[in-house]
Amino acid sequence: MNGEDPCSTQLIDGDGEFHVDGVERFIKEIRLADCGLSYAVVSIMGPQSSGKSTLLNHLFKTNFREMDAFRGRSQTTKGIWIAKGIGIEPCTVVMDLEGTDGRERGEDDTTFEKQSALFALAISDIVLINMWCHDIGREQAANKPLLKTVFQVMMRLFSPRKTTLLFVIRDKTKTPMEYLEPVLREDIQKIWDSVSKPPAHKDTPLSEFFNVEVTALPSFEEKEEQFKEQVSQLRQRFFNSIAPGGLAGDRRGVIPASGFSFSAQQIWKVIRENKDLDLPAHKVMVATVRCEEIANEKLSQLTSDEKWLELDAAVQAGPVPGFGKKLSSILDFYLSDYDSEAVFFDESVRNAKRKQLETRAVNYVHSAFQTLLGHLRSRALEKFKNDLDKSLKAEKKGFASSVRSCTEAAMLDFDTNVKDAVVKLADWDTKRVREKLKRDIDTYAGEVRSARLTELKRSYEERLKQALSEPVESILEAGTDNTWPSVRNLYRIETERVVSSFSNDLSGFELDDSTRDSMIASLREVSRDIVYKKAKEEASKVLIHMKERFATVFSHDKDSMPRVWTGREDIRAITKEARTAALKLLAMLAAVRLEDKTDKIERILRSSLLDVGSSSMTRRIEGTADPLASSTWDEVSPEDVLIAPVQCKAYWRQFNTETEYAVTQAISAQEAHKRNNSKLPPLWAVIVMIALGFNEFMAIITFILRSPFYLFGIFVVFFLSYAVALQYNLAGYFHHGMLSGIMTLSTRFLPMVMNILQGVVNQGQQQYQNYPQHPQPNLPSLTTAQSFRQHNESRRHTGSSSVVVEPISSTSSVSSNSGIDDTSPTSRYQAGEEVTS
C-alpha cells in the first residue's frame, strides 16, 4: 500500500498478541520513521457497538470495519487496529480499540478492557471516549465503568504525560450542550474522586492528568447528513493538533516516530505482564534501543561506504595526503545522520549512544590510521637514511652532527604528516609509533656508526700495515746492530702519526671518553701486532736468513766483491766472522724489543754456541747448567719471545750442518787453485822425464842442428802459437781441467783459424787503402803474430806488467760467426782492455 492507502492493520489481536511484522510493514509503508516528533496518535474507546469505527472512518477517512446494522448488534472490532489518518497534517496514527461491555467476553472478563485502556493512554496524544447522550446523569450508565477503568489504570502510569480526553456524545438530543457538558464534567469529577489514588496523588486534581474536551454529534442513522457535517467540523480540530494550543496538549513524553513500533511493543509487553508502567523509564528504554539501532545502522553504512573503502584501499597502498580531513568528513557525515534521526529521543541517551557510535566508528577506522602511521614511520625512516647518506657523502659535518640534523628533519616530517592524518574526533595516541620511529632511527644510526667506525678503523689499520709492514720487514732482513732501535723509532713515529689522525676523525662521532680511548688503544694494539706478526714471520725464516748472511760474509770481501780462493785467504777466520754475523742475526730475531730495555741474548748465544770449548769447560768447572736449555730468555717477557733458547740451539746445529759444505768447498777451491797455478811438475817427475827421455831429446837436438830451416820453422810456429794463445786466452780454458779445456778448444778451433785468416786479409786491405799514393819499398812484411810479438817484447823490455793486444778489425758478422762470447776474456782483448799478467 502507498502512503495514502486507508487500509488498516491489526496491531494487537483479540488474544493479546502483538503483531510486530504487521506494524513494521505499516510504519514502513506510511514512512512514519521520517516524521520524527511530528506525528500524533489518536485512539478511541467506548461501549461495544457505539459507532466507534464509523466515527473514525468519517473523521480520518480510514476503513475500519463497521457493524452491519442488518445483522444486529455484535462485536465488530477485536483487539486493537491501526490506520493512518488521510489528509491530516501532521501524520496522525489512528487506533480503534475493542469495545467495552461486550457480551462476547462476559461480565467478569475485564482484563483485556483494562489493558487496552492503559495501552491507549500510554501511547496516545488524544483519546476519544465514545458515549451515549442518554447515559449522561445516570448513576448506572454504561460510560461510568469505562471512566472508572480509565482513571484506575491511569494510576499505574508513573509521571504520565497530560493526555487529552475528548468526550464524544453520540445521538445528541434536543438538550442544549450548555446543560449537558456541566453534568458530564460533574460525573467525571465524581468518578475521579471515587478512584483510589497513591498517597502522592491523593489530592491531585483531574486537570493535572487530563485535558477534558466535550463535543456532541447527532445520530448517524437518523441524521446522516447533519452527522457528516459536524464530523467534518470536528476533523478540522485535528489539523496541527500537536502545535502549541492544539488539541494534542502536553507532548513532553512523546516517543520519536522511528521508535513507535518498539515503544508500543514494549509497553504492551509490560502491560501484559501486569506490571506498573513507568513511562519515563520506558521513554529512556525506547530511546536506548532506538538510538542503539540507529547507531548500528550508521556504523553498518560506514563500513560499506564507497569513499571509506577507497580511502582504506589507498592507505593500504601507501601514505594518503589529507587523510585526517577525508576521514573526518566521512565520520561527520554519518554522525550527522545519527543526530538527525535520533534528535527526538531522550537527550542523555542520545548523547551517550552518539558517544558510543563515535567510539565504535573511530575504533573501526583505527586500523587504517595505524597502517597510515606505519607508512609515515617507514617514510620518515627512509628519509632519515637518505638524508644521512647524503650528509655523510658531503662530508660537511661530523657523523654525530649529521645524525642529529637528519633525525630532527625526519621527526619533524613525521609529526607534520601525523598532524595531517589525525581525525579530530579521535584521541589517538601516536606516541608509541613516534617512539618506535625514534628507536628505529637510533638503531639505524648505531648500525651506520658501527659500520663507519669499523671501516674507519680498518682503513687506519691498513695505513698502519702499509706504513709498518714492509719497512719493518726490510729492517729485520737487513739485520744490523741498529735493527731494533730503527724498528722502535719507526713503530713510534708511524703509530703516533696514525693515532693522531684517527683521533681527529673520531671527534666527529662524539664518542664517550671510554669508547674513544678503547678504540685508540685497540689501534695501538693493532700497530704492535703488525710488528709482532712481521717479526714472527722473519723469525720463522731465521735459518734462511742465517745462511744468507753466512754466504754473504763468507763469499764476499769487505768491498762486497766475490772472493776468489787463491790460497792466501784465512778460511778459519773468515768462517768465524761469517758465523758470528749469522749468530748476531739469530740473536736479533730471538725476541721482540719494542721497549727500551737491554738483554743478554747475544752474549748468551755467543758464549754457548761460538765459544763452545771454553764455555763448556767453564760450565763443567763451575757446575752450572746449559743456559740454552730453557724455553724463555732472562729479562724478556714470554710474549716477546720469538725463538726460545732451546730452539736457537737447534737452529744453530742445523745451520752449522748446512754451511759446512760451503767451507769444505772453499778449502777444496784453495787447494785446486794451488795445483793449477804450479808451472812445473813435481821434482820427481822432472827427474824421471830427464832419465827416460834423454836419448830422444838429444836426437831431436841433433836433427835440428843439421838443418837451420827446421830451426827457423820451429821458432815461427812457436811465436805464432804464443800470439794466438794470448789473443784467445787459451790458458783460461784449462782452469777447470785439461780434459775440459781440450773439449772446449776442439769445438772452437776451426772458428779461431777462420777468424785469424780473416783478420790478416782485412789488415792488408786497410793498409792498401790508407797508403795508395805512397808506394812503400819492398820490405819484408811481418805477420800479424810477429807484429804482436814485437810489441809485447818491447813492453817486456820497458818493464810493463801487462800485455796489450791490438783489437782485431773484423766485421760484426765475422765476430758473431766466430762463436766467441762477447763477455769472454777474448772479447775484452778485442775491445782493447789490459789483462793483468
Give CA–CA dist 207/209, Å, rounded: 5
46 is in an annotated binding site: yes
**What are the distances in angstroms from CA 343 to CA 73, 562, 724?**
47, 121, 142
Residue with cell 437518523: 222
CA angle at 568 for the pair 566 and 571, rounded to the nearest 5°: 95
Distance of CA 189 to the CA centre of its chain: 89
C-alpha R_g of the chain: 70
Residue with cell 468526550: 167
53 is in an annotated binding site: yes
50 is in an annotated binding site: yes
Give CA–CA dist 475/457, Å, rounded: 26
Which residues are CB-contacts of 701 (< 8 A; sequence separation ≥ 6)?
A: none
261 is in an annotated binding site: no
Give CA–CA dist 126/238, Å, rounded: 10
The single-letter code of the amino acid at 224 is: E
49 is in an annotated binding site: yes
**DSSP class of 772:** S
Residue with cell 569513499: 307
Residue with cell 457497538: 49
How would you label 64-84 residue by residue, b for 16+ Cβ within 10 Å and e otherwise? Answer: beebeeeeeeeebbbbbbbbb
Give CA–CA dist 262/324, Å, rounded: 38
SS3 call for 789: helix
SS3 call for 167: strand
Give CA–CA dist 60/82, Å, rounded: 12
265 is in an annotated binding site: no
304 is in an annotated binding site: no
Could you count the other beta carbons within 10 Å of the beta carbon of residue 407? 19
Among residues 160, 116, 352, the alpha carbon closest in space to that of 253 is found at 160
Check the CA dihedral 136-142-147-148 and report its sign: positive
Alpha helices for 347-482 (secondary structure H):
347-394, 399-421, 431-478
Distance of CA 727 to the CA centre of its chain: 87
The burial of 589, by beta-carbon neighbours within 10 Å (0-12 exposed, 13-18 middle, 19 or more buried), is given as buried
Question: CA end-to-end span of the chain, whole Å?
Answer: 151
74 is in an annotated binding site: no
- Residue 197 φ then ψ, to 5°: -125, 160
Among residues 85, 55, 309, the alpha carbon closest in space to that of 168 is found at 55
How would you label 634-672 residue by residue, b for 16+ Cβ within 10 Å and e otherwise? Answer: eebeeebbbbbbebbbebbeebeeebeebbeebeebbee
Residue with cell 597502498: 317
Q: Does 90 sit behind a cis peptide bond, omega within 30 degrees of 0 on the bond before it?
A: yes
The single-letter code of the amino acid at 256 is: P
- Provide the phi-psi class of 137: left if phi over 0, else alpha when psi is between -120 and 50, else beta: left
**DSSP class of 606:** I
Binding residues for GTP: 46-53
Could you list the residues known to form a binding site, using ranges: 46-53
